[in-house]
Homo-oligomer: A and B are copies of this chain.
Amino acid sequence: MPEFTTLEHENLNKAVYGALCDALIQGRFQPGDRLKIRDLAEQFGISVTPIRDAILRLANDEAIIFRSPRDIRIPDLSEGRYREIRAIRIKLEGLAAETAAQVATSADIEVLERILCENEKAIEAGDRLKGAELNQAFHFMLPQIAGLPVLNGILRRLWLQMGPHISDAYLPGGRAMIDHHYPVVEALKRHDSGAASMAIVDDILLGGKPILERIERGAERKAL
C-alpha cells in the first residue's frame, strides 16, 4: 500500500515554489512586502503560469496572503498567532519527540549529532542563515525518525508561516536555539519518551523568546 504522499516530480512550478519557500524562511522577504506575478516571472525568466501556481500554493500554505484580489503580500505575524503556532508545535513536536524516542536507531542519532556539531560551528562563525537552516533540519528530523509524514507536512507549513521571523531571531537567540537540542538527543539515546517530549517543549519555549521579542518590537514600531 503506497503511503499518502505528494509525488516530487520536477517542473517549473515546483522549482519556483521551492525557491520562494527558501526566500521566506531565510528572511529575504519582509512582512508587508508585495509580490507581483509578472515581476517574479521576469525575475525567474519564465511565464506567469508556474509563478501563479507557486503563489497560489503559498497562499494555501498561509505563508503569503491576498490582501485583495490584486494585492499579494507577505503577512506580518501577530503575537496571538505566533503564540498559537507555538502551542501547536508544543503538542505536535512533543508527540514527534515522544514517538521518535521509541524508535530511534543509532543511525538516526548520528544524523542528529552531526547536525548539532555543524550548528556549533555555525554559531561560532556567526552564520545566521546556516544556523537557522540546521535548527530547522533538527526539528524536521524528529517527525521523520518517528515515521510521521502528516505531522511533518504540518510542521513544514508552520515553519513557512514563521519564516520571516526565524532567521532574524537566530543570532539574538544565540545558544538558546541549540542548548535544548542536546537533552533531546540524550533522551532519544535512552529511549526516554517523556524526557524527549519535555526537552523539545523546553527548546520550543526557550527558542521562542527572541521571536516573541522581535514580534513585540515590530508591534511597537507599528504603533509609533
Contacts and interface: CB of A to CB of B under 8 A. Distances in A.
Task: Give the interface size bracket for A toward B.
Answer: 35 or more
Nearest to A143: B84
Interface string A142-163: 0000011111011000100100
Contacts of A121: none
A137 interface: no
Contacts of A77: 4
Given A1-B76, A91-B91, A222-B1, A85 B6 contact: no
A3 interface: yes
Interface in A60-118: 60-62, 65-69, 75-78, 80-81, 84-85, 87-88, 91-92, 94-95
A125 interface: no
Among A1, A53, A76, A81, max chain B CB count under 10 A is at A1
Interface of A: 1-7, 9, 11, 13, 53, 56-57, 59-62, 65-69, 75-78, 80-81, 84-85, 87-88, 91-92, 94-95, 147-151, 153-154, 158, 161, 219, 222
